[in-house]
Amino acid sequence: MTKTFFMLAAFSCMSLAAQIQNSNILKSTDAKEIEAFLKTAQRDDPRRGTLNTKLAALKKSNQGKTPVQLATAKSVTPQNSKFADVQNEDEEFRKLTAGNPGAHEQKTVKLLNQLFDNDVTNKEAILLIQNNSGCNMIIRVHGKESYNLPVRAGGENFVVLKKGNYQLSGNACNANYSSSKSIAKNTVVTLSSTGSNLPSGKYAQNAGGN
C-alpha cells in the first residue's frame, strides 16, 4: 500500500512538472519542442490545432536553411534583435556604398544633365540628402520609385527620380526620421543633429528647393 502511494505521488509530481513545463508551449518557436509536445499531448488538448498549424508554418519557413542558418535564427531573441537590426543596417550600408565606379559615373552624368535641363516638361527632379548627424544612415525613399540611399555622417548623397509624392524614412544614432515629401522640383533635405542623436522627423529644406 505504501509503495503504491509513493508511486502515485511520484507520478502526480511528474505530471504536474510536465504541465508547468508545457504551459508556455504556445509561445515556442522551436519545431522540435512542439513536435515532442504533440507526441505526448492528449487528443482532446485544445492546443493541438493551433500547434499543428504553427508547426507546419515553422517547417515551411525552415525549408532549405542550413543548420548554421537555423541556429542563427534561433539566437536572435527579443533582447538582441535590436542589436541584430543595427548590424544588418551597417552591413547594408557597406554594400550600398561599395558600388562600382561605372555606376557612380553614370549617376554623376545624370545629375549634371538634370541640373542644366531647363525644360519645364521635365518629369524628373533631384533629391539631395545632407546628413549633419554624427552617424551613417540609409534614407529609404518610397513613392513612384523606391531607393535606399546611403548617406555618410557629415556627408551628402542624391538621387534623380520621377516627380511626385514620396515617403522618406531612416535611422541614425538610434533616432528615427520620417517625412512625407511632394517633390515637384530639385529638392534638398538637411537632417540636423542634436548632440549625437537625430531628432525624429526633423528636416530643413531651402526656400528655393535647389
User: Residue 16's Cα: distance from chain center in Å?
Assistant: 41
Q: What is the pTM of this model?
A: 0.52
| pLDDT reading at 22 higher than 70 | no
Q: Could you read off the pLDDT of 82-100 as tens digits, one per residue?
A: 555 667 888 888 888 886 6
Handedness of CA 21, 25, 30, 33 (dihedral sign): positive
If we measure between CA atoms, which residue out of 15, 64, 53 comes closest to residue 31? 53
Q: Could you read off the pLDDT of 131-183 as tens digits, one per residue?
A: 998 899 999 999 999 999 999 999 999 999 999 999 999 987 878 889 999 99
Higher pLDDT, 119 or 13: 119
How far, in Å, CA of 54 to CA of 57, rounded?
5
